[in-house]
């Protein structure tokens, strides 16, 4: 009788241990899924190796170690909470997956956003340093309005005269500059967006609207994309009605300074 009782106790202990191991495994797997799935979806949403020499790493060693520790803690929590419950494995798994999945998703998003912000700050600093090294003055305006009609000519005839003429009257980079409407990404995009300011190259400053238009007409003989604009800081004649990045604008300013013997400056304008 004593032997049978001992065997029964032993079976109960083994059964309980097996259940505890099962609960730990369920919590462990739920923890891994809640941590790795958001990062996996993030990696799938990014173009593979967009630039040669990319240093983006989604599943590095530190992340894997932290994920394993998180999953182990979740397994222990499941043992504590579900030790005396008799729910099915499916119910336990879904319960274990709930809050950790939300928490890890928020942390993954916050981490990606912080890294993106640092990269963007580094890029802005590099562009500013690049422009300063080129010796191109900068200013900014809060309003931006083109005088004398629509933006630059984008008709097929105008493009042909800029690109295919026997003698290049204007740099190719400026001839192919997209208008603000073309620069905007079409379609629904709920992701994180980066709205950076646009820059134009100022060729001349004017004291009145008439002077700005007259100067634009004079310069348009050699630079077809010239436009007269009005800002809260005054009237200007710019190289193109298409705001672009600081680096692109600085590059165009250098070309104008070397090829056209002008003294261009950069003007930061509101993004449209």
Looking at residue 41, its pLDDT comes to 77
Q: Is the pLDDT of residue 266 over 50?
A: yes
pLDDT tens for 60-82 read 888 889 889 988 988 898 888 87
Average pLDDT, the chain: 76
Structure tokens at 98: 């709930």
How many CB atoms are closer than 10 A to CB 5? Answer: 9
- List, in sequence order, every residue forming a beta bridge with 198; answer none if it has no partner: 269
Please report, for residues 175, 216, 219, 239, 267, the alpha-carbon distance to residue 223 in angstroms, rounded to integers and kept in the order given.
10, 9, 6, 7, 18
Determine the pLDDT at residue 229.
92
Mean pLDDT to the nearest integer, 209-229: 90
Express as a percent the part of the chain with pLDDT over 90: 11
Q: Are strands 227-231 and 145-146 parallel, antiparallel or unpaired?
A: antiparallel
What integer is the mean pLDDT of 241-260? 87
**Is 112's pLDDT higher than 90?**
no
% of the chain residues with pLDDT over 70:
75
Confidence of residue 272 (pLDDT cuts 50, 70, 90): low
Identify the pLDDT of residue 4: 59
The pTM of the full predicted model, rounded to 2 decimals, is 0.54
Nearest-angstrom CA–CA distance, 264 and 256: 7
Is residue 185 very low, low, confident or very high in pLDDT (cuts 50, 70, 90)?
A: very low
- Rounded distance between C-alpha atoms, residue 229 and residue 201, angstroms: 11
Task: Please report the DSSP string for 190-212 in residue order.
Answer: -S----PPEEEEEEEEESSHHHH
CA nearest to 85, candidates 25, 20, 29: 20
Q: What are phi and psi of 146, to 5 degrees?
A: -85, 135
């Amino acid at each position: 009788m004593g032997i049978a009782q001992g065997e029964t106790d032993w079976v109960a202990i083994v059964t309980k241990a097996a259940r505890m191991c099962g609960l730990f495994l369920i919590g462990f797997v739920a923890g891994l899924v809640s941590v790795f799935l958001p990062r996996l979806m993030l990696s799938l949403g990014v173009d593979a190796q967009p630039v040669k020499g990319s240093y983006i790493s989604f599943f590095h060693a530190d992340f894997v170690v932290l994920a394993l520790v998180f999953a182990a803690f979740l397994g222990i929590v499941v043992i504590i909470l579900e030790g005396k419950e008799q729910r099915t494995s499916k119910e336990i798994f879904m319960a274990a997956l709930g809050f950790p999945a939300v928490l890890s998703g928020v942390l993954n998003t916050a981490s990606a956003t912080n890294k993106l912000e640092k990269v963007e700050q580094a890029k802005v600093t590099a562009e500013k340093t690049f422009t300063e090294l080129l010796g191109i003055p900068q200013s900014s305006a809060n309003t931006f309005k083109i005088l004398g009609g629509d933006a630059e000519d984008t008709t097929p005839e105008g493009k042909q005269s800029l690109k295919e003429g026997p003698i290049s009257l204007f740099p190719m980079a400026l001839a192919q500059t997209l208008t603000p409407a073309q620069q905007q990404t079409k379609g629904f995009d709920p992701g994180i967006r980066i709205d950076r300011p646009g820059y134009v190259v100022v060729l001349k400053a004017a004291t009145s609207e008439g002077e700005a238009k007259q100067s634009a007409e004079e310069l348009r003989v050699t630079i077809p994309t010239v436009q007269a604009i009005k800002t809260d800081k005054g009237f200007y004649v710019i190289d193109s009605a298409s705001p672009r990045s600081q680096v692109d604008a600085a590059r165009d300013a250098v070309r104008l300074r070397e090829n056209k013997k002008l003294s261009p400056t950069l003007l930061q304008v509101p993004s449209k």
